[in-house]
Amino acid sequence: MATLLSRSKALVTAFDLSPQSVRTTRKRAELNQTELDVLVSAGENLPFQDESFDIVIGKAILHHLVSEIGSQDIRRVLRKGGKAVFVEPMGMNPILTFARNYVPYPHKNAVGIDEPLTYKVMDAWTDGYQYREYREIQLLSMVERAFGWETTFPILRKMDAHILKHIPFLRRFCRYVIIYAVK
C-alpha cells in the first residue's frame, strides 16, 4: 500500500514492527522506482512529532495494538482536520471467531495477541475525533477468503450490499470494517 500511494505522488512514511517487513517495503519501493520513508516502529510509540501527518492509513493494523495507547499516539501525530482510515477485521461473528481460532485454511495467520474489533473497541480507537464512520464489509462474501486472495464472487458482494443496507443489525457479523475518522 505504501508503494502504491507513493507512486500516486503522495509523500509517504511507512512503519512496521518487523524489520523484515520494512526491508520488503523498501525493496518494493525500489523495484517500483518510487521513494518513501520506511522505519521500524511500534504502533503504540510512534517516533513522529505531534500533528505531523495529514492522513494515517492502515490495513489490519489496529487489532494488533493496545488500543488505549495506540489510539492516543495516532491521534497525536494527526494534524487538526487530519483523516484516519483503517481496514480491520471485526470480531463479533461467532462462526468467524470459531474459524479464526480452530479451522485451518490457506494463508491463515497465527493468532497471537490479535483482538478483532468490536464496536466498543472501534469507539475507543476513534474517541476524541470530530467525526467517525464505520462501514462494515464482507458478510456473505467473506467465503472468498477460503478460495484464496484472487477469488471474488460478485453475486455475493451484491447480496452483501443489499443485505447490509436493509438489515443493519447484520453488519456486526461482517468480516471487515472500514474505519474513517477526522480529527
The residue ranges of every structural domain in the chain are 1-41, 49-138+171-182
**Of residues 160, 113, 110, the one with CA closest to residue 137:** 160
pLDDT for the residue numbered 116: 81
pLDDT score of 126 = 96
Q: Is 157 exposed, middle or buried (0-12, 13-18, 19+ CB in 10 A)?
A: middle
pLDDT confidence of residue 147: 85
What integer pLDDT is reported at residue 110 of this predicted model? 67
The per-residue pLDDT for range 99-145, each reduced to its tens digit, is 878 887 766 666 666 778 999 999 999 999 999 999 999 999 999 98
For the domain made up of 49-138+171-182, the CATH class stated in words is alpha beta
Grid cell for residue 153: 464472487
pTM, 2 dp: 0.90
Cell of 96: 468467524
Question: What number of other Cβ atoms are within 10 A of residue 156's Cβ?
Answer: 16
Look at residue 106 in the predicted model and tell me its pLDDT. 66
Give every CB contact of residue 178 below 8 A, 6+ residues apart in sequence: 85, 86, 87, 134, 135, 136, 137
The pLDDT value given to residue 109? 67
CA distance 28 to 67: 30
pLDDT lower than 70: segments of the chain: 106-113
37 C-beta neighbours (distance < 10 Å), count: 13
Specify the pLDDT at position 125.
95
